[in-house]
Amino acid sequence: MSTRWESYCNTTTDLLQVEPHIDSYDTKRVLEGWTVVGSGVYTKSDVGYISALYRDGVDLGAAQATAGVVNTDGEWHYASGTDLLTICTTSAPDTVHRFQTGQAWSDVKTAAVSRASEFVRVYLNKPIMRRVGVGVQAESLREATLQALLSTGDRRAGELLALADREGNVAAALRAWSVDPAAWLTRVREPGDVLPWDAVDPGVTREYLAAEYERALRGETSPPCRVGTGCRLCGACG
């Protein structure tokens, strides 16, 4: 397998992260209404093309070459010309078992991963290579500190801006500021605290953010957004 065909996503867990409703891709359908034609042998017509058959969720394996040799429990044959499925099962297929046709779960996952990988390849228009190590892009501590001060600041942050304008640089403004920047930055905010930006309504409810915060503290993740599906989970989509 070339690196061109490698995928970032190859487990059920990964798939559930990006598609919580991956189960809905399982297109197996139940086959009911069998006609007994011999000792333990049943047929069903008009079943549509069948390449795999499952009994109670178990893959019955490859089909027999002809319907005439279907005489042992678990054997089956599909005649595409007449659209007729023949099976052999020692217990009644309609009342004791559940026969299904469709794709195996592993095939469904593989197809989903392949499709997703192909979308990425088409978008990038170049091979997807294995990522070696982890790259980190960080900004300077000074810039991050200033951003944190301004983004968590109340009207006293305005005083800092005025000082920076007067002093000509941020470092001098921080020294002249009446607030201790370290204490400001490290102060623990409780979910119920009144915040400077409470007057702004971003759509996302405060309760949702608090719940997400609690989940993060517990090390839990949340499913990705499903924008355009009518989701009202956080409130941002109206």
Binding site for ligand SF4 (CB under 6 A): 225-227, 231-234, 236-237
Q: d(Cα 170, Cα 216) in Å, to the nearest integer?
A: 33
Cβ closest to ligand SF4, residue 58 vs residue 210: 210
Cβ closest to ligand SF4, residue 166 vs residue 206: 206
Cβ 20 to ligand SF4 shortest distance, Å: 12
Helix, strand, or coil here: 134?
A: coil
Cβ 232 to ligand SF4 shortest distance, Å: 6
In angstroms, what is the C-alpha Rg of the chain? 31
Cβ 1 to ligand SF4 shortest distance, Å: 35
- DSSP one-letter string for 62-103: SPPSSGGG--STT-EEEETTTTEEEEE-SS-TTTT--EEES-
Cβ closest to ligand SF4, residue 127 vs residue 203: 203
Write out the E strands in the chain: 29-31, 35-38, 41-45, 53-55, 58-59, 76-79, 84-88, 99-101
Strands 84-88 and 99-101: unpaired
CB of 89 closer than 8 Å to CB of 74? yes
Cβ closest to ligand SF4, residue 47 vs residue 237: 237
Cβ 237 to ligand SF4 shortest distance, Å: 3
Cβ closest to ligand SF4, residue 39 vs residue 229: 229
Cβ 210 to ligand SF4 shortest distance, Å: 15
